[in-house]
Structures are given as structure tokens and as C-alpha cells.
């Protein structure tokens, strides 16, 4: 296979047939064009921008953690610097600050080692907006989008009103299964006569937003090969890349799809939301030049440059820390979240008996650990190797209230109805979980019940986030949850 010989000397292949019809007709914003001419030596520009002397903010100082979060450092931004602060307060060209893009390029080269040369960096105001731009770049109304069997709700909330549908691919502990992906695509014309075969795969392949599952190298290579065979663009939405919990930090992180991408068919969405702060509204695209240019056209008319202060502060911070400093920061960050994950599992262990799934052969579909109350299995989960979440499958077969609801046959979807009432009971007892139903891929109005979706009967999911709470709060929350469970399961 070509990519096995790849040494990064490859160039992107022509993928322009993937472009949405509307994005093809986007021309450079004429005003942005002029912004480039403005910087010509000696030019008197009467083409107009607000005058920077009339911006009220003159300096910005920030106290920040050092990379090891042990002391504070001071960052000073002013108009006396090489790039004056006022430049960050002015209109820009849409692509974002050049130095920050240069940093992102170096970081990408160092960490992800893309298998082709001519990749490009374009800043964006957060992955939510970036995903919207990608849908606008690639998808037409009616298109199906390949995704994980549970997928990120906000991504879907964008595409559902666009009349896009999910084509979910079954997962295991390594993420989506390549042979299921291949079978889905191979059989598409038979299973979906008259519907365009999906050409976009949306993945949160590290610590995925619901399942906490991370896709390893071998699986990635296989998925990539299927995508080459069926001409799929892979959109790698990867805010959790550095919130992984491997033995060795850098050397054993799951690689990006970029590492296998000898054709330039990966669009990677990088975000500073999880590594620095969400309120920055700052991240960047990594994509082949043709796609990046089209995304820039969309950026000019949809959002313009990402926020200037965010760019200025992040650039200053990264320059101060240096590349090694940033990696130290990321290493500490994932240790912090790993500690929180362990607190959560400890809290489970205080109220439930945790046993390996192999010890509960009656639960055929349980993976990882099963949480028992008395002898009753309540939920099972795979301890996450990345991200901020535990994805728990609740087993309802021994819950009397659920069984009654199922037996009565008065509701269409007893799993969903029961999950809703259980979630509300938790919330009444002041413990807030995220319902698994938020993550059901939207396949159309006729596939909304558990049965119609082909989902596993007598189960439902809840997502536990371990990112926000202290150890004491977690213990309190899980004790409240255990009380609700005890009453509901009558044990």
C-alpha cells in the first residue's frame, strides 16, 4: 500500500469533486483582497479601516500558570512589540495571525507528522464553528454522514436541520470497526437505493465524546484504507488528543489520522478549548491547500478572523512556554484528568461491587467492568483511556419498574421512557448526568425508538463526566445516584 512507503513527500491528490456546490461559487471577499495590498511598502491606503489610535485598549497583561502549573508568569502585550497589540484589535485577512499559524504548523509537524507535504493551517473560532464550516464545505442536503454509533450531539444539531442523516458505524473498544465501515459502503446502493453514498466520515477518535474510546494505530490504518478505497473525506474532530491516559505520554499517544494521510483526505479540527480554555473560541484547521482555501473563503464572509485578544494571549503564552513547555502543560493536564477519572471509579467502588465483565456471563454485551448492587448488575463501562467521560451502559433487565413498563406495552419505547424518568429522578436528587439519548445518531423520523434504531434492548446509556467535580463532590454525587438506584432496582 502506498502509504506504507510514505515519508511525508507525498502531495495531496485532487479531491475537489467533494466540494459542496455553494462553496464552489464563493469568491474571495473583495475587501479582504484589498487588505493584502494595503501592506505594500509606501502605499497610501484610502481603502479604509478604523484607526488603531482610536482603539481604547493599549496594553494587556496576563498572569498565567507556567507549564508545570507551579508558579505564575506575567505576559505583557503592548503596542511597542514586534506585532503591536493594536494589530490584534484590527480587522485581519480571515486566516488569523501568521505567527500562530506558523506555531501550529511546527506543532503539527512535530506531533502528527502528516504523510503528505502540502497541508495548510487556518485558524478558526472553535470546533463547533469549524464543523459547521466543514458541513458547508462538503455536504449537500440529503447526504448521509458516516459517524460513530454514538456521536457528538452538537455536531448533529448542526446537520439535522440541513437534512443530513447519520450513517452510524458500529464500534468496539477501538472505535468504529473498519470492516463494518467497508460493508456499509459496499452495500450502500442496495441498502439505500437512489441515495448518494456517504463521502464524509465524522469522528471524535480520541476519548470520543460519549464512549471515552480511543482508536489505536492499527485500526486507524485500516479505516484510512477503507476511506481511500471508497473516496471518503475523514473529519477528525479531536479536542481530546492530549487528554489521553497512556503509560508513556508522547510516545504512546494515539496517532492522528494525519500520520496515515498520504492523499490529503483528512480535515483535522484542533481546538484550544480543552487544553487552554473554551472561552478563547480558538482553534485551527489542518487540511490540504485546496480545502483550506475554500474554508478561508467561507471564513471571510461567515466569521472573519478569530477573536484578536484570544489570538494575542495564546500566541504570547505559547511563545513564553516554548514547545517543550506546552508539552509539559499537556502532560500535567492529562494527569489531572486521569486523577479525576480514578476518583470517579473509586466513588463507584464505594457503592457498587465492581467486577470484570467476564464474571457476569448473563450480560452478553457488557465490556470492561460491571457495577453490581448486591447481585444485581446495574451498569457496565470500559474505563476510559482518554477524554473526560465514562460512558455507562445501564442494564434494565432486572429493574422491576422497567419490566412492568415493558410488559404493559403502553409506551412505544420503554427503554427511552424509563431512561427519561430515571434521569429526572437523578436530577431531583441533585445529581446531573448526561442522557445517552443525546448521542443517538439521527437517521430520520422513522428511526427514533430503541427498536427502530436497532439498538440493544433492555439497556440505556448515561454519560458521567469526571472533569468538573472535586473528589468529595463526586463521592456525594455517586452516593445520591446509588440511593436512586437502590430504590428503583428494589435491592
According to CB under 8 A, which residues from 39 to 58 bind a second copy?
Answer: 40, 42-51, 54-58
Q: Which is nearer to a second copy, 7 or 63 (CB)?
A: 63
- Least Cβ distance, residue 29 to a second copy (angstroms): 5
Of 103, 285, 329, 391, which lies in the binding site for a second copy, with binding defined by CB under 8 A? 329
Query: Which residues, in sequence order, are bridge partners of residue 171?
Result: 176
Q: Which is nearer to a second copy, 104 or 266 (CB)?
A: 104
Count of residues binding a second copy (CB under 8 A)? 103
Secondary structure class of 478 (helix, strand, coil) = helix
Helices 217-229 and 178-186 cross at an angle (nearest 10°) of 10
Contact 260, 236 (CB under 8 A): no
Q: What is the grid cell recorded at 299?
A: 471564513
DSSP string, 285-335: EEEEHHHHHHHHHHHHHHT-SPPHHHHHHHHHHHHHHHHHHHHHHHHHHHH
Q: What is the grid cell recorded at 488?
A: 428503583
Residue 367: enclosing H or E segment and its boundaries? none
Task: Tell me the CB-side half-sphere exposure of residue 50, using CA atoms within 13 A.
Answer: 12
Per CB under 8 A, contacts with a second copy among 67-96 are 69, 72, 88-92
| By CB under 8 A, residue 446 contacts a second copy | no
Secondary structure class of 472 (helix, strand, coil) = helix
- 434: which residues sit within 8 A by CB, 6+ positions away? 462, 463, 465
Q: 347-368: buried (b, 16+ CB within 10 Å) or exposed (e) per residue? A: bbeebbebeebeebeebeebeb
Q: Which is nearer to a second copy, 99 or 398 (CB)?
A: 99
Of 5-13, 115-123, 166-174, 308-316: span binding a second copy (CB under 8 A): 308-316
Q: Which is nearer to a second copy, 9 or 301 (CB)?
A: 301
Of 469, 482, 485, 488, which lies in the binding site for a second copy, with binding defined by CB under 8 A? 469
- For the beta carbon of residue 218, count every other beta carbon within 10 angstroms: 10
Q: Which is nearer to a second copy, 90 or 113 (CB)?
A: 90
| By CB under 8 A, residue 304 contacts a second copy | yes
| By CB under 8 A, residue 445 contacts a second copy | no
Of 427, 444, 454, 490, which lies in the binding site for a second copy, with binding defined by CB under 8 A? 427
Q: Which is nearer to a second copy, 6 or 127 (CB)?
A: 127
Of 15, 96, 112, 132, which lies in the binding site for a second copy, with binding defined by CB under 8 A? 132
| By CB under 8 A, residue 14 contacts a second copy | no
Contact 459, 393 (CB under 8 A): yes
What DSSP designation does 116 have? B
- Least Cβ distance, residue 309 to a second copy (angstroms): 4
* Interaction mask 375-414, a second copy, x per CB under 8 A: -------------xx-------------------------
φ, ψ of residue 167 to 5 degrees: the values are: -115, 85
- Torsion, Cα 316 320 321 324, to 10 degrees, reads 110
- Placement of cell 483535522 in the chain: 268
Of 81, 154, 252, 350, which lies in the binding site for a second copy, with binding defined by CB under 8 A? 154
Q: Which is nearer to a second copy, 230 or 348 (CB)?
A: 348
Residue 106: enclosing H or E segment and its boundaries? helix 98-111
Per CB under 8 A, contacts with a second copy among 206-245 are none
| By CB under 8 A, residue 128 contacts a second copy | yes
| By CB under 8 A, residue 441 contacts a second copy | no
Q: Which is nearer to a second copy, 317 or 372 (CB)?
A: 317
- Torsion, Cα 288 290 292 296, to 10 degrees, reads 170
| By CB under 8 A, residue 103 contacts a second copy | no
Of 199, 268, 281, 461, which lies in the binding site for a second copy, with binding defined by CB under 8 A? 281
- Least Cβ distance, residue 478 to a second copy (angstroms): 8
- Least Cβ distance, residue 455 to a second copy (angstroms): 18
Q: Which is nearer to a second copy, 313 or 366 (CB)?
A: 313
Of 264, 357, 463, 488, which lies in the binding site for a second copy, with binding defined by CB under 8 A? 463
List the Cα angle 196/200/205 in 5-degree steps: 145
- Least Cβ distance, residue 212 to a second copy (angstroms): 11
- Placement of cell 456499509 in the chain: 184
Q: Which is nearer to a second copy, 132 or 264 (CB)?
A: 132
Secondary structure class of 169 (helix, strand, coil) = strand
| By CB under 8 A, residue 454 contacts a second copy | no
Q: Distance between CA atoms of 133 and 296, rounded to whole angstroms?
A: 10
Amino acid at each position: 500500500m502506498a502509504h506504507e512507503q510514505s515519508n511525508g513527500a507525498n502531495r495531496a491528490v485532487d479531491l475537489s469533486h467533494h466540494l459542496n456546490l455553494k462553496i464552489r461559487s464563493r469568491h474571495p471577499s473583495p475587501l479582504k483582497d484589498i487588505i493584502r495590498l494595503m501592506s505594500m511598502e509606501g502605499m497610501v491606503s484610502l481603502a479604509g479601516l478604523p484607526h488603531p489610535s482610536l482603539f481604547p485598549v493599549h496594553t494587556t497583561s496576563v498572569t498565567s500558570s507556567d507549564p508545570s502549573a507551579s508558579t505564575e508568569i506575567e505576559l505583557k502585550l503592548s503596542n511597542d512589540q514586534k506585532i503591536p497589540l493594536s494589530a490584534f484589535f484590527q480587522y485581519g485577512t480571515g486566516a488569523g495571525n501568521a505567527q500562530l499559524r506558523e506555531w501550529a504548523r511546527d506543532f503539527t509537524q512535530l506531533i502528527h507528522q502528516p504523510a503528505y507535504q502540502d497541508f495548510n493551517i487556518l485558524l478558526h473560532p472553535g470546533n463547533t464553528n469549524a464543523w459547521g464550516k466543514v458541513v458547508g464545505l462538503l455536504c449537500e442536503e440529503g447526504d448521509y454522514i458516516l459517524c460513530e454509533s454514538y456521536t457528538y450531539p452538537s455536531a448533529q444539531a448542526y446537520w439535522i436541520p440541513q437534512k443530513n442523516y447519520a450513517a452510524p458505524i458500529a464500534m468496539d473498544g477501538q472505535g468504529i470497526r473498519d470492516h463494518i465501515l467497508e460493508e456499509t459502503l459496499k452495500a450502500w446502493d442496495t441498502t439505500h437505493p437512489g441515495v448518494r453514498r456517504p463521502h464524509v466520515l465524522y469522528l471524535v477518535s480520541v476519548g470520543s465524546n460519549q464512549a471515552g474510546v480511543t482508536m489505536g494505530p492499527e485500526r486507524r490504518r485500516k479505516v484510512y484504507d477503507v476511506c481511500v478505497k471508497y473516496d471518503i473525506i475523514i473529519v477528525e474532530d479531536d479536542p481530546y488528543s492530549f487528554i489521553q491516559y497512556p503509560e508513556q505520554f508522547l510516545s504512546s499517544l494515539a496517532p492522528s489520522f494525519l500520520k496515515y494521510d498520504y492523499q490529503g483526505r483528512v480535515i483535522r479540527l484542533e481546538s484550544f478549548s480543552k487544553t487552554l480554555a473554551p472561552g478563547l473560541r480558538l482553534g485551527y484547521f489542518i487540511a490540504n491547500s485546496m480545502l483550506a482555501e475554500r474554508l478561508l473563503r467561507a471564513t471571510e464572509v461567515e466569521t472573519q478572523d478569530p477573536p484578536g485578544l484570544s489570538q494575542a494571549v495564546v500566541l504570547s503564552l505559547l511563545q513564553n512556554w516554548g514547545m517543550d513547555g506546552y508539552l509539559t502543560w499537556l502532560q500535567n493536564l492529562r494527569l489531572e484528568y486521569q486523577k479525576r477519572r480514578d476518583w470517579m471509579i473509586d466513588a463507584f467502588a464505594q457503592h457498587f461491587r465492581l467486577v470484570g465483565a467476564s464474571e457476569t456471563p448473563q450480560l452478553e454485551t457488557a465490556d470492561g467492568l460491571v457495577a453490581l448492587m448486591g447481585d444485581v448488575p446495574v451498569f457496565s463501562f470500559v474505563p476510559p483511556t482518554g477524554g473526560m467521560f465514562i460512558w455507562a451502559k445501564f442494564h434494565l433487565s432486572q429493574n422491576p419498574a422497567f419490566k412492568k413498563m415493558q410488559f404493559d406495552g403502553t409506551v412505544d419505547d420503554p427503554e427511552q421512557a424509563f431512561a427519561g424518568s430515571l434521569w429526572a429522578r437523578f436530577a431531583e436528587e441533585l445529581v446531573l448526568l448526561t442522557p445517552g439519548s443525546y448521542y443517538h445518531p439521527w437517521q430520520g423520523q422513522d428511526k427514533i425508538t430503541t427498536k427502530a434504531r436497532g439498538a440493544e434492548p433492555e439497556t440505556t446509556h448515561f454519560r458521567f463526566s469526571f472533569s468538573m467535580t472535586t473528589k468529595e463532590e463526586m463521592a456525594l454525587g455517586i452516593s445520591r445516584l446509588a440511593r436512586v438506584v437502590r430504590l428503583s432496582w428494589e435491592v
